[in-house]
């Protein structure tokens, strides 16, 4: 009996199945971040995960399924920006809210720069992952921040700006700095005072939209 047939007949152990799936996801994330999507084969993913290559297609029938699983893992493996915003929004302490958002973004990307590299490879090579991430998560985060800004406009605390564009402006400042640090080596060239970076960005942003 071949190995593949033996695998098909053997009753799956849920823990082993989850473990294999996690191994494959971790291996795929690391390899895609190192070599890009075009430069990574399923054989290499299987070798890095130390499993049979055929198992990849038992867990992920298409590449899109694999991309979707990567996004789901990255979004849900720890509390994200939405939790931070939900925690502080009722305080209406604008400096606290935006400081918490920026700090969470820097912390998450600092702990896992591979995902930022992976998203850039995806965009440059024309794969679906970056589009899926922006459609499912980035747009959602933008709308949450947009809703907060809109509420503060109604409160009279912020000027009557376009709340969606204001949200994108704030996220853009933080993301640009993360790209400089994690992808272009700014972090390696010298120590970065993250608290000062966050305080500066939040100050510039709030000074720009606060009502006179």
Overall average pLDDT of the 13-42 stretch: 80
pLDDT exceeds 50 at position 99: yes
Helices (H), 53-138: 54-59, 63-76, 81-88, 94-111, 113-125, 129-133
Q: What is the DSSP letter of 11?
A: P
Confidence of residue 78 (pLDDT cuts 50, 70, 90): low
Would you put residue 126 in left (φ > 0), alpha (ψ -120 to 50) or beta? left
Q: Report the phi/psi class of residue 185: left, alpha or beta, with left for phi > 0 and alpha for psi in -120 to 50.
A: left
Structure pTM? Answer: 0.75
Q: What is the spatial distance between Cα 108 and Cα 31, in angstroms, rounded to a whole number?
A: 20
- Are 75 and 59 a contacting pair, CB within 8 Å? no
- Beta bridge partners, 158, equal 210
Distances (CA, A) of 75 to 138, 140, 195: 10, 12, 24
Q: Is the pLDDT of residue 54 over 50?
A: yes
Segment 45-54 shows an average pLDDT of: 91
Ordered structural domains, the chain, with CATH: 11-61 (1.10.10.60), 75-209 (1.10.357.10)
What CA–CA distance (Å, rounded) separates 207 from 212? 9
The residue with greater pLDDT, 114 or 208, is: 208
């Amino acid at each position: 009996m071949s190995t593949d047939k033996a695998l098909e007949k053997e009753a799956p152990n849920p823990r082993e199945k989850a473990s294999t799936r996690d191994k494959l996801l971790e291996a795929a994330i690391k390899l895609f971040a190192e070599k890009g999507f075009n430069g990574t084969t399923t054989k290499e993913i299987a070798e890095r995960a130390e499993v049979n290559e055929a198992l990849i297609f038992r867990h992920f029938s298409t590449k899109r399924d694999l991309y979707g699983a990567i996004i789901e893992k990255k979004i849900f493996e720890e509390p994200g920006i939405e939790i931070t915003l939900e925690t502080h929004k009722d305080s209406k302490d604008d400096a606290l809210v935006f400081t918490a958002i920026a700090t969470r973004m820097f912390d998450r990307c600092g702990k896992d720069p591979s995902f930022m590299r992976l998203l850039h490879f995806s965009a440059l090579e024309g794969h679906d992952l970056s589009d899926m991430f922006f459609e499912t998560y980035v747009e959602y985060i933008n709308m949450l921040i947009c809703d907060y800004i809109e509420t503060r406009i109604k409160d009279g605390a912020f000027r009557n700006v376009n709340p969606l564009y204001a949200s994108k402006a704030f996220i853009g400042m933080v993301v640009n700095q993360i790209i400089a640090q994690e992808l272009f080596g700014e972090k390696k060239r010298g120590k970065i005072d993250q608290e000062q970076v966050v305080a500066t960005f939040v100050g510039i942003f709030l000074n720009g939209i606060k009502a006179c």
